Structures are given as structure tokens and as C-alpha cells.
Amino acid sequence: MRRLPLIALVALLVGCDRAQTAGPATQPAGTAQASAARIASANSPTTAPAERAPSIVLIDQKPYTFPPAILQIRNRDGQLSAVLMSDDPKDAIDDSYHGNSFYLEMPLEITEVKDLPTYIYRFVSPSSDRTDSPNGIFLDGNRLQLQPQQIQVKFDGDESTMTLMVSGYFLQFETRDDTVVPKRVLVRSSLEAEVRKK
């Protein structure tokens, strides 16, 4: 008589275990729950890294969209320089490309990257003539070049991501028509850049 409750308890435990094992196996693969699980897995940060936001630059108060920004830090014999550039697609070099891009070389008067948040880069062009240089902001492919005339760049952030506040005047040139008189434009932007060291 004392063994009956024990046998009943074992039977109950075995029955529960079978029910738990059979549950998911009998659920159709195409149910809403399974679909939701697949969507959640696909949107998980570990499987789908977030895309970087595009850069927005105000030119004479009008917003222009650019690819995400990169700040490349170079060290030559203890002297730092930086290049602020857009992360352009491969077809940006094609004549048929109509996107926007920027490329700005900045020699720095500091020796440590950690000192960038206290540093302000300033540039004043000695001439208003167009120079044969990759520096500038390029609109509609390479059809318009905005060449820096009097600008400043402030830095904020750390050694992985920095925000660069670019402001000042650029000269806008028609790259395919030298007869067009250059136009002076005001540029302002706050660019979040991925820092890369070279």
C-alpha cells in the first residue's frame, strides 16, 4: 500500500516530460509565433549591425545628403594629421555618378589623438583662385567643387567616434565650365565620424 503513491508520482512525472517534449514538435513551422521568432532573430544586434547614418551638410542653409563620415588619423614622425572624408561608394569615380562627397586634409598642431577635443583647426586660403586639389566638398558627382576659403573645425568625442563641427566659407566652382564666376557659400555641419588610424 505504501508503494502506490510512489508509482503514481513516477507516472505523473513521465507524463509531464512527454507532454513538454511533444509540445514544440507538434507546432507547425509556419505559425505566427515561429515567424515572429525569425523576425526577432534577424533584427538582433548580434546578427544585423546597425547602418551608419548619412551625413548632412548645410550649404547656404540648404541641406545636402552625403555618405557617412570617416576621420582618418595619420601619424608621421610624431606629427598628427587628419583627413575628414565621406565613405563613398565604389562607383563614385564614374562619370555617371551624381552623388555628393567631401574630402578635407587637416594638418594638426598636436601629437596625441586624446588632445583633439581641445583643438580647433583653422584654415584661410591665400588665394581665391581654384587650385588643383582633392580638398573640398563635391556636389553632383564632381560637377561642383566647394573649395575651402576660410573655415574652422572643432572636434568632440573619443578615439573611436568623433563629432566634427565644420563651419565657414567655401568657394563654389563649376568644374566643367571655367567661365562661370565662383560663388562664395556658407557651410555648416555637425558630422559624426568613425575614427580610423593609419
Q: What is the pLDDT of residues 20-34, one digit of tens each?
A: 444 444 444 443 433
In a domain? residue 47:
no
The answer to whether residues 178 and 132 belong to one domain is: yes
CA distance 166 to 120: 10
**Using CB atoms within 10 A of its CB, is residue 94 exposed (0-12), middle (13-18) or buried (19+)?**
exposed
* Domain presence at residue 48: no
User: Tens of pLDDT along 162-198?
Assistant: 999 999 999 999 998 888 999 999 999 999 999 999 8
Domain assignment present for residue 143? The answer is yes
**107 and 25 in a common domain:** no
The whole domain housing 159 covers 55-197
Domain co-membership, 9 together with 72: no
68 and 30 in a common domain: no
**pTM exceeding the 0.95 threshold for the entire prediction:** no
Q: Are 73 and 23 in a shared domain?
A: no
Q: Which residues pair with 167 in a beta bridge?
A: 152, 188
Helices marked H in the chain: 3-25, 32-42
Q: Are residues 69 and 127 in the same domain?
A: yes
Residue 49: inside a domain, yes or no? no
Largest CA distance in the chain: 111
Counted domains in the chain: 2
Regarding whether 32 and 70 lie in a shared domain, the answer is no
Judge whether 172 lies within some domain: yes
Q: How far apart are CA 102 and CA 147, in angstroms?
A: 10
